[in-house]
Amino acid sequence: MDGPSGSGKSSVSRGAARALGLRYLDTGAMYRAMTWWMLQQGVDLADPAAVAARCGEPAIVSGTDPDGPAIHVDGVDVAGPIRESDVTGAVSAVAAVPEVRARLVALQREIIGAGDIVVEGRDIGSVVWPDAAVKIYLTASPEARARRRSAEVAGSTVEAQQEAMARRDTLDSTRKTDPLSMAAGAIELDTTALTLDEVIAEVLRLVKE
């Protein structure tokens, strides 16, 4: 399940995994965990060489339970801190560093290789697991995506969210390594005018097809 921020990847993937009795992996949480660790360490995130030099150090462990996805860095539960705005603002720069991607993609492939799973991210169908049985690319209008995100974040406006998302979309789709793009063989699903339950039902239909 790939797509931009706020298209519904996490909620739809978790709902589909629950309904199908599958595991679930949030690869964005892994990039966020790496970013959280870099910020803790005081690494200069504007310096890709500095990020590349340190990205092998943190032990990043992802759970795969759709009811309570866990993420730990060096044994610390970071599920809360990785959603803070400092991480959100910095994650696209860290995710653009090829050495970071190589390390996290290898970890993701290890988890996926262990058996049936719903995986969400930006490059799952194109790079991480091109042989996936079902590839879905979720989209929604920029306004809808910003509205959804601002409803989750206390005190944020739709306009501010839309601006922040547009910045991240540009960084994610223009980076040189594994940019956000629709994978070959993916089915595009526009969720703008659908409810969450309608999107999950459509995904389940596609899986059973």
Q: Which residues bind ligand ADP (CB under 6 A)?
A: 3, 5-11, 148-149, 152, 191, 194-196, 199
User: Residue 174 or 192: which CB sits closer to ligand ADP?
Assistant: 192
* 122 within 8 A of 178, measured Cβ to Cβ: yes
Verify binding: residue 32, ligand CDP, rule CB under 6 A: yes
From ligand CDP, ligand ADP, none, interface partner of 11 (C-beta below 5 to 8 A by class): ligand ADP
Residues in the chain: 209
Q: State the binding string over 154-173 for ligand CDP (x if CB under 6 A, else -).
A: --------------x---x-
Verify binding: residue 62, ligand CDP, rule CB under 6 A: no
The distance from CA 184 to its chain's CA centroid, rounded to whole angstroms, is 19
Report, in angstroms and rounded to the nearest whole number, the Rg of the chain calculated over CA atoms.
Answer: 16
In whole angstroms, give the CA distance from residue 11 to residue 23. Answer: 14
Verify binding: residue 27, ligand CDP, rule CB under 6 A: yes
In whole angstroms, give the CA distance from residue 185 to residue 51. Answer: 33
In whole angstroms, give the CA distance from residue 31 to residue 178. Answer: 13
- Chain residues that interact with ligand CDP, rule: CB under 6 A: 5, 27-28, 31-32, 91-92, 95, 121-123, 168, 172
